[in-house]
Each structure stands twice: as C-alpha cells, then as structure tokens.
C-alpha cells in the first residue's frame, strides 16, 4: 500500500534525480535521501508537516538564506540544535528543473563533507607523503640483489 507519506518521499527523490538516482531510507522518524552513498537531503516533520531539507555547506548557506529557506533546527535536552540542512525553496518543489541547481548544491555539500579536513600544518595519514613513502618502500623491495 502506497501512503501519502511514501508518495511525498518518491516525489522528492524524483525532484533530486538530476544529480543521480536517489534512494530514501528511514532514519530518525523521517527519511534520508542519498545518491551514490552521499546523503543530500532529509525529509522530516518538525510539527508542520513533512518538509524536504537540503544539505548545505558554509559556502552555500547564504544562498539558502537569501532564498528565504529556513535552517533545520530542533530541540534536544532543552537546547535548540541545528544541522547543516536548509528547507528547499518553495519554487524548487514544483519541478526537477527548478530543483536542479539546489540539488547540485546539496550534492556538492555532501561531497565536501566527505573530504577529510586538514588543519594547517598537519598532514593527514593518507596524504601524498605517505603514498610516496609506500612507493619508495615497494621500489626498494623490488631491487635485484
């Protein structure tokens, strides 16, 4: 049986499909929508009906805010908390074409969040330097005796 909620989930996946095939999975009383293993949106009812929330990054929050999108906030242990998601613009909810640039921003934010953060002066363990060290070791092992 397809419920009204399931129809909305499917519709949101269709709206976001310009960035790739989307999958919706139940999480925290709502849904996470991902493409290629990257969560780009969530569907949650914060008391005013289910709403599509798109992943944002520090670079894109101003675009969401200037479009009148609200930030995802909730109450936990008596405190207001927020996550890096903003409501989708109303006009973008009308078609995949209108949603396309917002879906792209959400995907870019998910890709950026997946990248390891590098603090200045600290080289991560998976850096090019460690790759060079592994290459050097393997070359040394291959030298004829």
Give the pLDDT score at 3. 54
Q: DSSP letters of 9-42? A: HHHHHHHHGGGS--EEEEETTEEEEEETTEEEEE
Residue 137 has pLDDT above 90, yes or no: no
Mean pLDDT of all residues in 93-119: 89
Percent of the chain past pLDDT 90, that is, above it, reads 59
CA torsion, ordered 136, 137, 142, 145, to nearest 10 deg: 110
Q: Which DSSP letter does residue 92 get?
A: G
Smallest CA-to-CA distance from 91 within 46, 57, 52 is with 52
Considering only residues 88 and 47, tell me which one the structure prediction assigns the higher pLDDT: 88
Give the pLDDT score at 111. 94
The CA–CA distances, whole Å, from 143 to 24, 129, 130, 131 equal 52, 21, 20, 19
CA 84 from chain centre, in angstroms, equals: 9
H/E stretch holding 132 reads helix 128-142
Give the pLDDT score at 48. 79
Mean pLDDT of the chain: 82
22-79 pLDDT, tens per residue? Answer: 999 998 789 999 999 999 999 988 777 889 999 999 999 999 999 999 999 888 899 9
23-27 and 38-45 strand pairing: unpaired
Under a CB-based contact definition with an 8 Å cutoff, are residues 132 and 138 in contact? no
Q: What is the pTM of this model?
A: 0.74
43 vs 60: CA distance, rounded Å: 20
């Amino acid at each position: 049986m397809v419920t009204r909620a399931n129809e909305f989930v499917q519709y949101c996946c269709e709206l976001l499909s310009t960035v790739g095939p989307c999958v919706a999975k139940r999480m925290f009383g709502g849904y996470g929508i991902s493409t290629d293993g990257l969560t780009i949106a969530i569907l949650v009812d914060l008391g005013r009906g289910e709403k599509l929330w798109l992943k944002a990054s520090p670079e894109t929050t101003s675009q969401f805010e200037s479009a009148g999108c609200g930030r995802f906030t909730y109450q936990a242990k008596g405190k207001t908390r927020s996550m890096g998601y903003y409501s989708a613009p109303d006009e973008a909810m009308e078609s995949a074409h209108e949603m396309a640039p917002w879906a792209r921003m959400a995907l870019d934010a998910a890709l950026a969040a997946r990248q390891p953060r590098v603090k200045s002066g600290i080289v991560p363990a998976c850096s090019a330097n460690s790759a060079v060290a592994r290459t050097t070791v393997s070359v040394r092992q291959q030298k004829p005796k």
